[in-house]
Copies of this chain bind each other. A is one copy, B any other.
Amino acid sequence: MTRPANPTRSDAVRNRDLLVAAAREVLAEQGLDAPMSAVAKRAGVGQGTLYRHFPDRLTLARAVLDENVAHIEEVAARPGATLADVLGVITWQMIHSIAFVSLIRLSGEETSQDLADRVRTAVDGLPTESHATGTRDTDDVMLAVAMVSGAVHGPTEQVREATARRAWQLLGIEIGEVTPDH
């Protein structure tokens, strides 16, 4: 348990969490260009507080993605986890958040290379579920994720999920359950 014994900061920690949660929702709905004020309002804090925690839009977006990545890492670390399992989770995230897709898109940039690297590390060495898929080069897996993200569009989550599934099929890669796994 890494609870920092720092009781006076409990407010700050709480606000940070509120902001990340709010940003997740707002960015998912409106995309990366959403007004910062909308995030502050949804979190129920002042604009100044938002800027205290996240000096710029990218820092905030990265904090959101960080939780996504942390969840991916967690799933990957489970005993018996397979590549398919992890890809299922990633696919769920792509389907449900415009921002997540946009952030993957920005991953090539200097902006969030570290996050991409963490996903790569998590994926690296995971066993593939069947011989049909075969062992994958990690770079190729990351590229495949980016490719599927390019396919994930459509008005409803149902449409986006169907498209994503077909995209994985075209790549010949099996994925597990598409689930938030929260």
Contacts and interface: CB of A to CB of B under 8 A. Distances in A.
Nearest to A160: B108
Interface string A61-75: 000000000000000
A120 to B, nearest CB: 15
B170 A140 contact: yes
**Number of this chain's copies in the complex:** 4
Nearest to A140: B170
A151 B143 CA distance: 6
A5 B149 CA distance: 44
Interface in A89-146: 104-105, 107-109, 140, 143-144, 146
Nearest to A171: B170
Given A143-B166, A149-B150, A155 B108 contact: yes
Contact of A153 (B107, B155, B172): B107
Given A2-B11, A11-B2, A33-B33, A170 B153 contact: no
A167 interface: yes
A83 to B, nearest CB: 15
A145 to B, nearest CB: 9
B151 A147 contact: yes
A2 B11 CA distance: 9
A148 interface: yes
Closest 8 CB pairs of A and B: A150-B150, A108-B153, A147-B147, A149-B150, A147-B151, A146-B151, A147-B150, A146-B150
Given A104-B150, A150-B150, A172-B172, 20 more contacts: A2-B11, A105-B153, A108-B153, A108-B155, A109-B155, A140-B170, A143-B151, A143-B163, A143-B167, A143-B170, A146-B150, A146-B151, A146-B153, A147-B147, A147-B148, A147-B150, A147-B170, A147-B171, A148-B150, A171-B171
